[in-house]
Structure 1
């Protein structure tokens, strides 16, 4: 079923688009004993946890998914040189995170489409290949509200991930797609810390509306696409206040590439254990790993 759905998605065409001022001196007064004022910066762990929890959004009842096999990209609707630039940029981010990337001739599981009418193309795709977006009722996608957002939102980049629960040892799919019989799985050593399934991103669909990206560097747009490809994102999340490429299209943002927070997040996602029993356990693992990475990063020297 999977190859047929992806083949249909690939064939869905897209149109071509080419220092503060000093305070005045106060009148001389006798010294006054002030109460102690403690200014405490937010702890690294709190900032990291907020980033992890705000960025990611797995399907309800699941855990953060990731690519546990290589990705293969198909780019449609761009000039050949622009498409290759996009592929190369996403590939670099993937390899840095620990994701393998297949070369030419592979079977695509990442579909990147360029257009000048994002909602129009999104609606057309959903109508043509509905099961490619919701191949099962649960566990694989973010549901109807998210799909409606994918179809109608006025955004420069929209994305859709399909997640597949699999048995970690064999890679066998652990659910039945619509029209299929439920699979039989052998339960091994499940515990309160370990699950019998992991969640693999099966395929991702990214639509870039170039009529809304004018003025942004192509490299920045490609990095945005890379982030949307490599992790499950919450389409409704307010990312303002976070240091992330996902604020690229926010007014006043000066981000132009994947930030250190983005890269550390991806590193933590792809180095954390994928067989945790609960979403909270896996998030805790990601936060711990991300903090370790950030503590090892060189600090900016303080002024004397």
Structure 2
């Protein structure tokens, strides 16, 4: 059975202070940037990029949104929250993701808090099944780590037609009653400054070396931003980061350098989606889901090469 926790009247966080006016841009343009490199270097970096995202590794197929996404930003004042939601929706539309209409029930939450670790610990104390899909290391990082942004997912197995096969996940975290979050989880406003592990595997016998009888689908994503640890990151950069980790099943351990995922690395220069970020998302949402993992990795790598290499110098596809 799929568990869901709709937003209710009790908020998870109270509104944040407004960002400086200079950092509240009025436009919604998605800026994608990057440089071109030679074919050999490009392929090596593309393979490394996909590996570092954690997507389609080992025997685990990718998971993506099959149901329409409905995004809710929590813990910010209304203009900031709308800004985050709109920027994430712009990325979703650009990637050709399914998007829900107005008045939808949120299944992606981006919550801003003065202490993300404390919020996760309170959630876990009330509803430990919320972190059921996380490995031991991932759970430890969520509960006691120092990352400025933490996230987890709810996934399920469906057949090729999108019919639920076997639910492997608990529900996602919303905000308010039913979410497992105490009403007094956070009592102070936040402000964005300056603006032995287990791994999941799949075993199947489809009678095909290429296609699989089932696919993995995301149906919930929870992203929690630790406002003090986010430092001086612009709100637009945080929204782009949140979109990447909410729209694909990303790893938090070793982000690729040519990506918004490196936003919080000390040597990062990225403040928006890169060309490879967008190429990755577009490939993820157009490739067949009912393929074995190695084939999915190949799709993602080739999409990055198609984006980066001049057409005349592209390496031949295997």
TM-score normalised by the shorter chain: which range applies?
0.7 to 0.9
The question of 1:172 aligning with 2:164 is answered: yes
The question of 1:291 aligning with 2:309 is answered: no
Question: How many residue pairs get matched?
Answer: 260
Q: Which residue of 2 aligns with 1:17?
A: 16
Two-structure CA RMSD over aligned residues (Å): 2.8
2:311 and 2:15 mapped to 1: Cα distance? Answer: 42
Q: Which residue of 1 aligns with 2:121?
A: 123
Q: 1:75 to 1:10 in 2, by over 3 A?
A: farther
1:76 and 1:276 mapped to 2: Cα distance? Answer: 36
The question of 1:2 aligning with 2:2 is answered: yes
Q: Deviations over 1:42-74 (max 9, x none)?
A: 432222111111113468742111112210112
Q: 1:245 to 1:9 in 2, by over 3 A?
A: farther
TM-score by length of 1: 0.77
The question of 1:227 aligning with 2:225 is answered: no
Alpha-carbon contact 1:60-1:142 (below 8 Å) kept: no
Q: Which residue of 2 aligns with 1:270?
A: 285
Q: Please, which runs of 5 or more residues in structure 2 have no aligned partner?
A: 18-37, 171-203, 314-318
Q: Which residue of 1 aligns with 2:267?
A: 252
Shift of 1:12: 6.6
1:172-251 equivalence runs, <5 A = 172-175=164-167, 190-239=207-256, 242-251=257-266
- Of the two, which has the highest radius of gyration? 1
1:7 and 1:156 mapped to 2: Cα distance? Answer: 25
Q: Deviations over 1:1-28 (max 9, x none)?
A: 5344x2379967124432xxxxxxxxxx
Q: Which residue of 2 aligns with 1:80?
A: 78
Alpha-carbon contact 2:54-2:250 (below 8 Å) kept: yes
1:42 and 1:292 mapped to 2: Cα distance? Answer: 13
Q: Please, which runs of 5 or more residues in structure 1 have no aligned partner?
A: 19-39, 135-140, 179-186, 300-304
1:147 and 1:119 mapped to 2: Cα distance? Answer: 11
Q: Which residue of 1 aligns with 2:200?
A: none
Q: Deviations over 1:242-279 (max 9, x none)?
A: 211111122232211111111111112112221113x2
SS at match of 1:266: helix
1:177 and 1:256 mapped to 2: Cα distance? Answer: 33
Q: 1:234 to 1:84 in 2, by over 3 A?
A: same
Q: Which structure is richer in relative contact order (CA contacts within 8 A, separation 6 or more)?
A: 2
1:77 and 1:149 mapped to 2: Cα distance? Answer: 22
1:113 and 1:128 mapped to 2: Cα distance? Answer: 18
SS at match of 1:125: helix
Q: 1:219 to 1:60 in 2, by over 3 A?
A: same
